[in-house]
Structure 1
Amino acid sequence: MSSAHFVRGPAYGLSAEVKSKLAQKYDPLREQELRAWIEAMTGRRIGDNFMEGLKDGVILCELINKLQPGSVRKVNESTQNWHKLENIGNFITAISRYGVKAHDIFEANDLFENANHTQVQSTLLALASQAKTKGNQVNVGVKYAEKQQRRFEPEKLREGRNIIGLQMGTNKFASQQGMTAYGTRRHLYDPKLGNEQPLDQATISLQMGTNKGASQSGMTAPGTKRQIFEPALGMEHCDTLHVSLQMGSNKGASQQGMTVYGLPRQVYDPKYCLNPGDEQLYELYNSA
């Protein structure tokens, strides 16, 4: 099986753009630190090309065996591609058991097919950090914080339920100073504005009007009307004893022509009545 079956062709379009961005994140300084650490641990020379020297998986398997003996039982020295892939797979399985998180581990194709060297570098840094955490002398990576697990007795946990944390606020220094009687309002004001202190509920503010100078002068008896007029217009006082002419007039009225109570009153039009000289003509007409 030739290596051409495991090498991808050149990338184009979006794939080329993604590959370019990943390549820009690769740190050459970190590569030198990893090279020095791996060569010191394994006693092997990686070569001029860092990733090409790790592609067969032999040095990687020896590295994890130095950190944790017996992690990879058999290391294939063969030049066959499937042996190389097997070594890389064994290395990935071993560092996972060693404590490296799954999201920090590269895939076999990232190294063997040169798909993502940045991820390979991140995995080796995570392995170095894990080794430093376990007490190995490593000059690269960071030491992970140790887990501090605390255990509390059930009684202590129950007592904590009766305590209100300061994050929920506090009622310290609280008092009833300035509180009014139950159910009444409490006026708020800003002393920085220079306003006077608010009045109590027994005082009516001038903004609400005032009853000073008020009297019952001119008030009529309860239930009667009070006529209102404007003196500046020269109007006289109105009374209720006279009927306005706008309501009609009874002046000149008499009982002339009235019949006895209960009798009908004939209504006629004088145009249709006979004059005194016409009575003779009426009699001659009836005699004929």
Structure 2
Amino acid sequence: MATNRAAKSGFAAEAQRKINSKYSEELAQECLLWIQQITNAPENTSGDMDNFYDVLKDGTLLCKLVNNIQPGLVKKVNESKMAFKCMENINAFLEAARQLGVPAQETFQTVDLWERQNLNSVVICLQSLGRKAGNFGKPSIGPKEAEKNIRNFTEEQLRAGQGVISLQYGSNKGATQSGINFGNTRHM
């Protein structure tokens, strides 16, 4: 856990402060209230980092959440507080979230939650899962998902687009970027 590690210093501490500055207590509280609405837990829905971490760190509530959205997604939820078992719960949640349609770029790594490295990415993942929950008949949070806007063009419209001459877009009148030097020259 994060409490067993040495405190970060130098660049690492600066990077961690930057990551922590992106954390939004309002969004975290919205996530916890949404989880409470679906699972009837947790009792404390404060959005501060300490509470958010304490509520979610063992992964059992996250597994219960995805099983309430779609029953049977996580086959075995480990109730043990051993580090390995808790990380298994978090991994099972992440796999279930991907199956429910959360894009890979909106998920987090296990250490982001377990070692409290990046709680903002956990919030992003829960917000994304909250949008997907509406597809399964559950309450949703966050902005509404965009719908596909498929366009079908006729052959006549496609041919008309091929008749456009590129000079109709405009011209740079023969200008190039040769000779442009921004600042000092390269020394070898």
Scaled to the shorter chain, the TM-score interval is: 0.7 to 0.9
- Is residue 2:91 matched to residue 1:94? no
Match of 1:72 in 2: 74
Please point out which of 41, 49, 53 is paired with 1:44.
41
| 1:74-223 paired onto structure 2 within 5 Å | 74-132=76-134, 135-138=137-140, 140-150=141-151, 156-157=154-155, 159-164=156-161
Larger helix proportion of the pair: 2
Greater Cα radius of gyration, structure 1 or 2: 1
Match of 1:10 in 2: 7
Structure 1 vs Structure 2: percent identity of aligned residues? 36
Contact 1:42–1:63 (Cα < 8 Å) also in 2: yes
- Is residue 2:31 matched to residue 1:34? yes
| 1:237-276 paired onto structure 2 within 5 Å | none
- Give me the whole-angstrom Cα distance separating, in 1, the residues matched to 2:136 and 2:43: 25
1:69 CA drift (Å): 1.5
Q: Does the residue aligned with 2:123 lie in a helix, a strand or coil?
A: helix
1:78 CA drift (Å): 1.1
Structure 1 letter corresponding to 2:95: T
Change in 2 beyond 3 A, CA 1:64/1:167: farther
| 1:225-240 paired onto structure 2 within 5 Å | none
TM-score by length of 1: 0.51
Q: Deviations over 1:53-105 (max 9, x none)?
A: 10110000011111121110111111211110100000000101111111110
Count of residue pairs the alignment pairs up: 162
Change in 2 beyond 3 A, CA 1:46/1:20: farther
1:8 CA drift (Å): 2.8
- State the 4+ residue runs in structure 1 displaced beyond 6 angstroms: none
1:134 CA drift (Å): 5.1
Which runs of no fewer than 5 residues in structure 2 stay unpaired?
167-188
1:167 CA drift (Å): 7.0
Contact 2:69–2:136 (Cα < 8 Å) also in 1: no
Q: Does the residue aligned with 1:163 lie in a helix, a strand or coil?
A: helix
- Give me the whole-angstrom Cα distance separating, in 2, the residues matched to 1:165 and 1:90: 51
Contact 1:133–1:143 (Cα < 8 Å) also in 2: no
Q: Does the residue aligned with 1:18 lie in a helix, a strand or coil?
A: helix
1:148 CA drift (Å): 3.2
Contact 2:70–2:136 (Cα < 8 Å) also in 1: no
TM-score by length of 2: 0.76
Contact 1:7–1:113 (Cα < 8 Å) also in 2: no
- Give me the whole-angstrom Cα distance separating, in 2, the residues matched to 1:129 and 1:28: 19
- Give me the whole-angstrom Cα distance separating, in 1, the residues matched to 2:90 and 2:82: 13
- Give me the whole-angstrom Cα distance separating, in 2, the residues matched to 1:20 and 1:123: 20
